[in-house]
């Protein structure tokens, strides 16, 4: 079978499409013929050796895919050959076939196409867990979303609206802000890119306070980090929740911890992958909720760009270079 492989750490142009042996079906595992896979920011970091865990070389990146079950191992129940599924594997998705542990495989509705299914798990799974289990977002609260036009950002915009929040989308261009409003954001604004000086950080805080009537945001969803984090924490409401999602801007911020005391707020880590491993049944309930919201038309993953497996390196570069609006898909 063909697979996109990282044979040496570096930029996407170092990736290779190679012929590799078909994976062996193990007990408690499911073999899937992939039809589509989704590109996520951890893929960008992993191929450079910058992610929090690092597989041995060579490896096939890609954390989520959708396709058709071709075989099941001993001990697998409720999943059969021919089922349409998505799989959350962390690695190996950018390939024609993949073997996934049974707890990482979820049947998809007949009404959902493979591209949508591949785009759903990580972004919407992370965002629902963040808003529901971690932030306990309540109807009527204000939700600020940074990087709102990205995959997790748009998922959060849609889910925030579905949960009854007022959603403020922050993005780097007017085109991206307009996309967020198309997906349900009530307000939106453009923030500067790159390193922020103190004046720019103060302007960011002031803008958030202006859009919240001086009260600040009840919940901040931050996949960006770096210089953007502290001004957003300073613009968080009393008893607010600041969600630590990731650090797409490149640096882990150093936060004055006294801000949490002064605002009576919570700084909350969101590690969806670890939670899934510890509470798989709760995660399945979340996906049932997501399927319901999709069938009702309340969420709809935005697939901005599609690439073939042969052009998979371009797909990862597209996300790395901040060209994506929504999800980037590799069709297989």
Rounded-to-integer distance, Cα 321 and Cα 22, Å: 32
Same domain, 142 and 260: yes
- Please indicate, yes or no, whether residues 115 and 129 belong to a single structural domain of this protein: no
> β-pairing, 166-171 with 142-145?
parallel
Query: Do residues 221 and 163 share a domain?
Result: yes
285 within some domain: no
d(CA 252, CA 254): 7
* CATH number of residue 241's parent domain: 3.40.50.720
Collect all residues with Cβ–Cβ distance below 8 Å to 124 and sequence separation of at least 6.
155, 159, 290, 299, 301
- Does 325 share its domain with 267? no
Q: Does 130 lie in the same domain as 116?
A: no
Q: Quick one: tokens of 277?
A: 């491993």
Residues 157 and 226 placed together within one structural domain of the fold: yes
- The gap from C-alpha 6 to its chain's centroid, in whole angstroms, comes to 21
pTM of the model: 0.88
Separation of alpha carbons 143 and 92, rounded Å: 34
Q: What is the DSSP letter of 27?
A: T
Residue 98 belongs to what domain range?
A: 2-120+302-331
Examine the domain organization and report whether 183 and 207 are in the same domain: yes
Task: Give yes or no: residues 127 and 219 share one domain.
Answer: yes
**Count of domains for the chain:** 2
Whether residue 284 is contained in a domain is answered as no
Residue 98's CATH number: 3.90.180.10
Compute the half-sphere exposure of residue 318: CA atoms within 13 Å on the CB side of its CA: 22
Q: Are residues 161 and 224 in the same domain?
A: yes
**1 DSSP assignment:** -
Residue 203 lies in a domain: yes
- Tell me: do 73 and 100 sit in the same domain: yes
Q: Is residue 73 domain-resident?
A: yes
**Closest by Cα among 72, 129, 78, 121 to 101:** 72
- pLDDT tens for each residue of the chain, 332 residues long: 999 999 999 999 999 999 999 999 999 999 999 999 999 988 999 999 988 788 999 999 999 999 999 999 999 999 999 999 999 999 999 999 999 999 899 999 998 999 999 999 999 999 999 999 999 999 999 999 999 998 899 999 999 999 999 999 999 999 999 999 999 999 999 998 888 888 999 999 999 999 999 999 999 999 998 888 999 999 999 999 999 998 877 788 899 999 999 999 999 999 998 999 899 889 999 999 999 999 999 999 989 899 999 999 999 999 998 888 778 999 99
| Pair 238, 108 in one domain | no
Q: Taking each helix axis as running N to C, give the angle between helix 174-182 and helix 151-162, from 0 to 180 degrees, rounded to the nearest 10.
A: 40
């Amino acid at each position: 079978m063909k697979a996109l492989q990282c044979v040496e750490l570096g930029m996407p142009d170092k990736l290779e499409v190679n012929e590799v042996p078909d994976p062996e079906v193990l007990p408690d595992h499911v073999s899937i013929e992939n039809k589509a896979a989704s590109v996520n920011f951890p893929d960008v970091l992993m191929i450079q050796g910058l992610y929090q865990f690092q597989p041995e070389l060579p490896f096939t990146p890609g954390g989520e895919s959708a396709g058709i079950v071709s075989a099941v191992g001993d001990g697998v129940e409720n999943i059969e050959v021919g089922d349409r599924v998505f799989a959350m594997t962390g690695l190996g998705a950018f390939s024609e076939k993949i073997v996934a542990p049974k707890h990482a495989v979820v049947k998809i509705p007949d009404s959902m196409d493979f591209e949508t299914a591949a785009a759903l798990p990580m972004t919407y799974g992370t965002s629902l867990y963040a808003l529901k289990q971690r932030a306990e977002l309540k109807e009527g609260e204000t939700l600020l979303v940074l990087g709102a036009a990205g995959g997790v950002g748009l998922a959060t915009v849609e889910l925030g609206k579905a949960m009854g929040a007022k959603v403020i989308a922050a993005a780097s261009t007017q085109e991206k802000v307009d996309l967020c409003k198309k997906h349900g954001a009530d307000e939106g604004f453009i923030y500067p890119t790159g390193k922020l000086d103190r004046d720019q950080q103060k302007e960011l805080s002031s803008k958030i306070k202006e859009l919240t009537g001086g009260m600040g945001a009840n919940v901040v969803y931050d996949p960006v980090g770096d210089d953007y984090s502290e001004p957003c924490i300073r613009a968080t409401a009393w008893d607010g929740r600041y969600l630590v999602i990731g650090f797409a801007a490149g640096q882990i911020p150093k936060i004055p911890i006294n801000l949490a005391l002064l605002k009576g707020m919570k700084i909350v880590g969101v590690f969806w992958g670890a939670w899934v491993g510890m509470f798989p049944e709760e995660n399945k309930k979340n996906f049932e909720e997501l399927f319901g919201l999709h069938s009702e038309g309340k969420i709809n993953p935005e697939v901005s760009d599609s690439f073939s497996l042969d052009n998979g390196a371009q797909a990862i570069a597209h996300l790395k270079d901040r060209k994506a609006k929504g999800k980037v898909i590799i069709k297989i």
